[in-house]
Amino acid sequence: MSPSLSSFQRFEARFYSATASWLYDRVVVSFGFRLLAGRLHSKVLAQGTGAVQAAGHRPILDLPVGTAFFTLRWGRGGFVVGADIAAGMVEEAKSRADGRGAEWLSTAQADVQHLPFRDRSFGAIMCTNGLQVMPPLPLALAELGRVLDHAGSLFVCMITFPVGALLPLSLSKHLPTIFKSHRQVLAELRSEGWKVTARDRSRLALLFEACRT
């Protein structure tokens, strides 16, 4: 595990690993994400198909891959690398890919802050229900931007609990991403040099596509 992780992130990785094979899909994907994302839950699959088309013949990074619940439904037709910091998630994703003969999906354990991929390796990046639990946006976006082709697109669906909208900017800018409003998230993207080309919202979820300016 990366030495730069906070103790909370280590706990988080262990939690996801421990729940990957028996609890995660039922509680997080099928119940929590569906409840909090409303109609965007099913739009993730269309977004994944868009990522496959946008990538063309180039590989797609799916980070975090989780159990590959969504990936195995949108990724056929592409060449996808599913990465996640939680070893248990990576094992679960690999076992499901092997079980379904999904040779187009390979897996890797990786922290978004130090991705083991060369610059511009990917034609598209899918980031489903993950950016909010990762390290601060500028750090995550810098590394995602490094491994994304200059002409590539980033596809995100994320949930936030926007308590930051109730606080002055001087305080809210220090909150973890999960507590930022959609407006704050989009403003941070712009200030980190990304242009949002499409977006949608439902309940607590924000879905968007972005490319570098």
The residues of the shown chain that bind ligand SAM, judged by CB under 6 A, are 9, 12-13, 16, 28-29, 64, 66, 69-70, 84-86, 89, 111-112, 128-130, 133-135
Q: How does DSSP assign 89-133, residue by residue?
A: HHHHHHHHHHHTT-TTEEEEE-BTTB-SS-TT-EEEEEEES-GGG
Q: Which CB sits closer to ligand SAM, 64 or 145?
A: 64
Of the two residues 82 and 152, which places its CB atom closer to ligand SAM in the complex? 82
**Residue in this structure with the two tokens 């990762």, named with its chain if needed:** 134
Residue with smaller CB distance to ligand SAM, 167 or 176: 176
Q: Minimum distance from CB of 170 to ligand SAM (Å)? A: 26
| C-beta pairs of 170-174 under 8 Å, 24+ apart in sequence | none
In the complex with ligand SAM, the residue whose CB is nearer, 54 or 205, is 205
As given in the structure block, the two tokens for residue 208 are: 């968007």
Q: How far is the CB of 167 from ligand SAM (least distance, A)?
A: 24
- Alpha-carbon distance of 120 to 93, in angstroms, equals 24
